[in-house]
Amino acid sequence: MQCIIDAMKAAPFEYTRVSTLAEACELLSEHGGDAKLIAGGQSLVPMMAMRLARPAWLVDINRLEELKHVEVRDDALVVGATVRQCVIERNADAIRSLPLMNRALKWVGHVQTRNRGTVGGSIVHADPSAEIPLVACVLDATLVLQDASGQSEVSAREFFFAPMVTAIAPEQCLAEIRFPVWKAARLGCSFEEVSIRHGDFALVSACAQVALDADGKCTQAALGIGGASPFPHALPEIGAMLEGKVLDEMLIEDAATAAADLIDPDGDLHATAEYRRFLARMLALRVLKAATEDALKKAAK
Amino acid sequence: MSEKLYPVSMTVNGTLRTAEVPSRLTLVDFLRDTLRLTGTHVGCEHGICGACSVILDGAPVRSCLMYAVQLDGCSVTTIEGLTRPDGTPSVLQDAFCEAHGLQCGYCTPGMIVASHALLESNPSPSEAEIRDAIGGNLCRCTGYQQIVDAVQLAAENIAKGAK
Amino acid sequence: MSGYKYIGTKRRTKEDPRFVTGRGHYVADIALPGMKHVALVTSPHASARIKAIRTDKALAMPGVHYALTGEELCANVDPLYVGVDAPKVARYPLARGVVRYAGEWVVAVVADSRALAEDAAERIEIDYEPTDYVLDPEKAILPGAVLVHPEHGSNILYRRTFTWGPVAEDFAKAEHKLAFRVRWGRSATVPIETFGIAAQWDPGTQLLDIWASIQMPKYPDQLAKALRLPGNNVRVHFDVDVGGSYGVKRGIKHTVLVGYLAMKLRLPVRFIEDRLENMRGGDMHGPDRSFDMQVAFDTDGTIHSLKIRAIDDVGAYAGRSPLQLGKPIGAIVGPYRITSVEYEPISVLTNKTAQEAVRGFGQAPTNYAIESAVDRVARHLGMDRIELRKKNFITKDQFPYLIPSGSTYDSGDYHTVLDKALKAVDFASLLAARDDARKAGRLAGVGIATCLEPSGGNSAFEPLFNPKNETTTWMDSCLVRVDISGAITGVMNTSTAGQGHETLVSTVLGEILERDPDTIRVVHADSLNALPSNSPVGSRMAIMLGGAAAGAAKKVKAALMAIAAHNLGVAEEGLEYRDGNITAKADPKKSLSWDQLVEIAHRKFHKLPAGLEPGLQAKFVWEVPTGGGLPTADGRIQMYPCYSFEAHLVLVEVDPATAQPKILRYLCGHDCGTMINPAIVHGMTYGGIAHGIGAALYEKFAFSDNGQLASQTFMDYLMPSALEVPAIDIVDHCTPSPLTEFGQKGSGEAGYLGAPAAIANAINDALHPIGASIDELPMTPLAIWTQLQGGRTP
């Protein structure tokens, strides 16, 4: 039997740093599953160190100018896949148009990991407890995938299947993410997470975004739970439950209870499935309340 | 048949350094083993402990999570580069000595890198901001108390005009 | 500090400047020309027979020099030392024939780089036949259990029941009795630097040079013995900076492995554990211990007697680990006047990673058990926890105080330290904050722990637990030289891991010789030119190294006085020594300066008094105070000489919605006698408390049902960052030790010995209103939540 060792030096690989997206896609189509893209590397490099990932080819997309944009375009904030987390944290357009992302980012790792980690990298890595994928799902973002034959789009809500398993094909590169911007004046959002230490993977996370009309009735609502299903779990059913109604305490409680029934948590070293389900309900309650309060503070236009 | 080598050329502590290295050589191993800048330390090699922190193009990062070949054309500053050219300690390093913000010294270069980056962008940080800035650097000796004291002292001294 | 010029003052630590500029000298910084690197193949099974090992594919890979198996190694080295009498529990660096835990080292591959060694290690092929294993120590001691070392005949490494004092009568007479179990989860102090060792064999001089990140008594001796070398064929370089140890860096199996490879291959070899190897196979886990406690007490709160059954899972092999059940015997009643104790330590083998020494050597778990008992007694009686403690404290006029297990506590004033702490934290406001939080529907608790930190490192638990081992020598040493230029150099004879020993020694030498410590250099000897030392364990260096430095300095001072008396024609009683200059009291014009005295000593033999050796140097080797004795038949012995004391006061809240604990306020009253360098002592106390927070709330080496270490990376083994450790206040008190030069006691383990107890008591105070409690560490959010589910509404 061949040995699995306690490795911390990566297995050998060929390295290419590409200067165009087309180049990257060409390499991916040539090498398929033997090639991996590296952007921030904050998730990939540890896996390679432990030899859990051992691509024969590493394609470095850090220098692709094509993937570094942050711009508002057609009711969406369009973020290039290799935009660093620290960049989007400070970007004025992002702060203004995507407050939910901004709230999420303070939970993402530490200062140093956000200096290198990318928005796209977090999405493609697909840790079910990661914050950025959850925001993408909750806001129903569109992911634009590029390969040698062209571009395709997939909804974030259809992208994540299982931990680290997504709809991306080996020859595809995530190019940009289009986060829908809600145009409501009375917009509120909240992101909450329970982890054991600050900066750890979430045991469970939740985020909510609500828009209210002048009378305080909900015109749009979105809720999602992370870390409590095999994928970041947007709950449009709950959004539907809340839309058109006044978000009073009882409705929010019912929504949170309903949310807790929709998720599918696992148990591990740090939390049982029951604990996660409990946290999911409690966090759903908290974020819905906080998002509603946040929205109520705002004046109707 | 030996491992394929790739050329890399990066500025380290203000000096252009050129070498040919395996692609899988991490930045921290490059700094330590190829350049013999052993002030940056290896603690976990999976990006958690922060002992390997360096400044890359002005921002603190974990050097165990990058391959040296990725940094062609980039600028890296290590603890050696934060020391004055004549070898005397910077205001920050001196504050760590004055407040005894270290014991075994192993996490210290990473702590100083993180603190330096903080003070560059936030010259008078609160205690909470200091703890957040070093929150990704683990220490098992100090309980962080005297490290926080050191950063506060450095901030005060810099404000008083110490260079 | 009154009366001292340098001792107790605020002084910078000498070691700091090199560390803050990145100029430390750690083992991974050492590059020997032509050095090779080691990677390990480790066992995937908790227990298995090794049927075959094939190394040919590995050896064919580029840059690979050797693949060493246990068959070869075990035939050529002696087994490693076991602290108890268990010769059939043989331990070698590599497995031979069988593997006994997942992560055990099986093959060592040597290559030009670590990466190449790992590439080759992956090509090693091993056929295993998995066998039955045992993971639960309670099951492991039952008849019919799977045996980890069948030749040993059982899984019990050590078991004895000690009865000190009239336990049965005290229990019969007592008005109340309580029984409960608490569990100290397996954790360790996990330094940020892993263990590393570089070795080089010179066949010309027949010398094996060793550089290692080491903190271990008798390391050169044990490694020489295992490698079948005379002691003077080994040279351990103690000047390697150790990146933290707090007990764990024993590395003897790593060293024997690498030493053997260096000798066999005639190449320098270096092995730096990577983090995965360190966590799973470095054999650096700490106590894994359950306590069955019984307490006998009266309605007025007097605690008369304790029965303690302590069962500890040391894993598949043992070095000194079983002895971690023995050290707490020296403080088995804590700071209390408990008059009888029955103590049954049981050290058990299971198919897990081996345990090693951890900060406190078993005292922290024991203090947790004792302080849990005290809180339960208070709750049972409806008595205030502070008042109960004060009622049972040994009073300051009772010292030196002999405890039932044979140790005498040297000095203490527990009431004063506790009062100081209570005042400094404003205890009433702490309780008010707790009660306000409770009124607002939150869970909040105040935790108290008053415990001892035995210090001085007289490891009398060795002969206590193994009568065949009659070791009673527990010494340390210092050499002082004053050179021709008048500069002073102190030589210490062991390694340092951040405790500031250079600062300690220079401060002591400076104090005695009245010369500026900043001008005094302190160096580390190597094992060939070192005086005897037992390394910095058991909070011993302030006492032992400080004492040895003082002793050596006094000899130098005596030589100077003799030279002055002889040359000034004045009897020594008529001379005054001031700052290294000596003057006749009656006639100040009769005086010799430091420089003149030094010159006479080194150059002017004709002016030297008879009998004084030329030059100006002295060595001092001394036995630990109160040491040198063997245990009595009923197991009583003087353990460590000096007893420091800590009083921890903690305010915590638990979020009732998420079950996350948060420490809001932390104050520690600390009495370690005279502090030679307060900043160093405080630093280690803060660090010890942080270690304690980790053990109490976050850290656990968790094993799956099939014996795999589930928390092998830092993503699962969670250590507190600056965001989990709160701001901590320390309040000092000084009850000097009558046994030491300056009244100093040790404090290297400070904070860690009381913090887990205090935090556990705080969490349980928070859970008390809902009728819940947790009796196991770490108290993770999951553990707390499980209690919240079962508890009633407050």
Distance CA A79, CA A95 (A): 13
Tell me which residue in B47, B50, B67 faces A42 most closely, judged by beta carbons.
B47
Tell me which residue in A3, A7, A12 faces C126 most closely, judged by beta carbons.
A3
Span C486-503, mean pLDDT?
97
The answer to whether residue A207 scores a pLDDT higher than 80 is: yes
Tell me whether residue C327 is in a domain: yes
Q: Are A117 and A46 in contact (CB under 8 A)?
A: no
**Judgement on whether residues C315 and C427 belong to the same structural domain of the protein:** yes
Structural tokens at position A140: 């129903």
**Judgement on whether residues C345 and C452 belong to the same structural domain of the protein:** yes
**Which residues are CB-contacts of C205 (< 8 A; sequence separation ≥ 6)?**
none
pTM of the model: 0.98
Q: Is A211 helix (H, G, I), strand (E, B) or coil?
A: strand
Tell me whether residue C70 is in a domain: yes
C535-568 residues labelled b (16+ CB within 10 A) or e (exposed) = bbbbbbbbbbbbbbbbbbbbbbbebbbbbbbbbb
Cβ–Cβ of B48/C714 closer than 8 Å?
yes
Pick the last residue of a domain from C232, C265, C281. C281
Give the position of tokens 């030119």. C529
Tell me which residue in A8, A13, A109 faces B23 most closely, judged by beta carbons.
A13
**Which residues are CB-contacts of A286 (< 8 A; sequence separation ≥ 6)?**
A190, A192, A206, C657
For C663, counting Cβ atoms within 10 Å of its Cβ (0-12 exposed, 13-18 middle, 19+ buried), the class is buried
B138 to chain C, any CB pair closer than 8 A? The answer is yes
Query: Which residues on chain B are in Cβ contact (under 8 Å) with A198?
Result: 135
Distance CA B157, CA C106 (A): 54
Q: How many CA atoms lie within 13 A of B131 on its CB side?
A: 16
Distance CA C578, CA A132 (A): 70
Distance CA C106, CA C98 (A): 9
Q: So what's the pLDDT on residue A7?
A: 86
Distance CA A260, CA A195 (A): 18
Query: Which residues on chain C are in Cβ contact (under 8 Å) with B109?
Result: 22
Sheet holding C36-42, edge to edge: C64-69, C105-111, C36-42, C269-272, C196-202, C207-212, C234-237
User: What digits encode the pLDDT tens for the residues C612-623?
Assistant: 999 999 999 999
Query: Which residues on chain C are in Cβ contact (under 8 Å) with B105?
Result: 15-16, 18-20, 24, 241, 243, 498
Predicted complex ipTM: 0.98
Task: Say what percent of chain A tops pLDDT 90.
Answer: 95
Pick the last residue of a domain from C623, C646, C668. C623
**Judgement on whether residues C127 and C219 belong to the same structural domain of the protein:** yes
The answer to whether residue A122 scores a pLDDT higher than 60 is: yes
Distance CA C209, CA C33 (A): 14
CATH of the domain at C70: 3.90.1170.50
Span C574-593, mean pLDDT?
97
Q: So what's the pLDDT on residue B123?
A: 97
What count of residues does chain C have?
794
Query: Which residues on chain C are in Cβ contact (under 8 Å) with B146?
Result: 679, 682-683, 686
Q: Is C783 helix (H, G, I), strand (E, B) or coil?
A: helix
For A62, counting Cβ atoms within 10 Å of its Cβ (0-12 exposed, 13-18 middle, 19+ buried), the class is buried
**Judgement on whether residues C321 and C425 belong to the same structural domain of the protein:** yes
Q: So what's the pLDDT on residue C205?
A: 98
The answer to whether residue A38 scores a pLDDT higher than 50 is: yes
Nearest-Cα residue of chain A relative to residue B74: A63
Cβ–Cβ of C26/B41 closer than 8 Å?
yes
Q: So what's the pLDDT on residue C2?
A: 61
- CA of B95: how far to CAs of B115, B152, B154, C672, in Å? 11, 9, 5, 27
Structural tokens at position A248: 């009073």
Q: How confident is the model at residue C792 (pLDDT cuts 50, 70, 90)?
A: low
Tell me whether residue C408 is in a domain: yes
Q: How confident is the model at residue A91 (pLDDT cuts 50, 70, 90)?
A: very high
Tell me which residue in B45, B79, B139 faces C274 most closely, judged by beta carbons.
B45
Give the position of tokens 């010789």. C513
Amino acid at A78: V
Tell me whether residue C159 is in a domain: no
Q: Are A210 and A189 in contact (CB under 8 A)?
A: yes
User: What digits encode the pLDDT tens for the residues B67-111?
Assistant: 999 999 999 999 999 999 998 999 999 999 999 999 999 999 999
Cβ-Cβ pairs closer than 8 A, A with C, add up to 101
Spatial CA neighbour of A158 closest among A97, A236, A94? A236
Distance CA C421, CA C665 (A): 13
For C387, counting Cβ atoms within 10 Å of its Cβ (0-12 exposed, 13-18 middle, 19+ buried), the class is exposed
Distance CA B31, CA A203 (A): 36
Same fold, A68-180 and A186-296: no
Distance CA C235, CA C596 (A): 38
| Helix (H), strand (E) at residue C280 | helix C275-281
**Judgement on whether residues C270 and C337 belong to the same structural domain of the protein:** no
Is domain A14-58 classified as CATH 3.30.43.10?
Answer: yes
Domain boundaries, chain A: 14-58, 68-180, 186-296
Q: So what's the pLDDT on residue C1?
A: 44
* Neighbouring-strand partners of residue C179: C294
**Judgement on whether residues C113 and C240 belong to the same structural domain of the protein:** yes
Cβ–Cβ of A8/C274 closer than 8 Å?
yes
Structural tokens at position C377: 């007694």
Q: Are C653 and C507 in contact (CB under 8 A)?
A: no
Pick the last residue of a domain from C281, C297, C331. C281
- All domains in chain B, ordered by first residue: 5-82 (3.10.20.30), 91-159 (1.10.150.120)
What count of residues does chain B have?
163
Q: How close, in Å, is residue A117 to chain C by CA atoms? A: 17
CATH class assigned to A68-180 = alpha beta
User: What digits encode the pLDDT tens for the residues A252-283?
Assistant: 999 999 999 999 999 999 999 999 999 999 99
Query: Which residues on chain B are in Cβ contact (under 8 Å) with C728?
Result: 143, 145
**Judgement on whether residues C301 and C416 belong to the same structural domain of the protein:** yes
Task: Say what percent of chain C tops pLDDT 70.
Answer: 99
Structural tokens at position C532: 């005897």
C residues 112..171 contacting B (CB < 8 A): 115-116
B residues 10..39 contacting A (CB < 8 A): 22-24, 26
B109 to chain C, any CB pair closer than 8 A? The answer is yes
The answer to whether residue A225 scores a pLDDT higher than 70 is: yes
Q: How confident is the model at residue B162 (pLDDT cuts 50, 70, 90)?
A: confident
Query: Which residues on chain A are in Cβ contact (under 8 Å) with C698?
Result: 196-197
Distance CA B81, CA B160 (A): 23
Fold classification of A186-296 is Enolase-like; domain 1 (3.30.390)
CATH of the domain at C669: 3.30.365.10
**Judgement on whether residues C715 and C575 belong to the same structural domain of the protein:** no
The answer to whether residue B152 scores a pLDDT higher than 50 is: yes
Q: How confident is the model at residue A6 (pLDDT cuts 50, 70, 90)?
A: confident
Span C479-489, mean pLDDT?
98
Amino acid at C142: L
Span C675-690, mean pLDDT?
98
C200-228 residues labelled b (16+ CB within 10 A) or e (exposed) = bbeeeeeebbbbbbbbbbbbbebbbbbbe
User: What digits encode the pLDDT tens for the residues C650-664?
Assistant: 999 999 999 999 999
B104 to chain C, any CB pair closer than 8 A? The answer is yes
Distance CA B100, CA C684 (A): 11
Structural tokens at position C159: 């078991």
- CA of C100: how far to CAs of C77, C252, C486, in Å? 20, 18, 58
- Domain residues for the domain of C525 are 475-623
Tell me which residue in A8, A269, A272 faces C716 most closely, judged by beta carbons.
A269
B residues 30..49 contacting C (CB < 8 A): 32-33, 36-46, 48-49
Q: Is C47 helix (H, G, I), strand (E, B) or coil?
A: coil
For chain C, what is the domain count? 3
Distance CA A170, CA A211 (A): 38
Q: Are C207 and C200 in contact (CB under 8 A)?
A: no
Q: So what's the pLDDT on residue C793?
A: 52
Cβ–Cβ of C684/B103 closer than 8 Å?
yes
Distance CA B107, CA B50 (A): 7
A residues 26..65 contacting B (CB < 8 A): 38, 41-42, 45-46, 48-50, 58, 60, 62
Distance CA B107, CA C498 (A): 11
Strand C125-130 and strand C48-54: pairing?
Answer: antiparallel
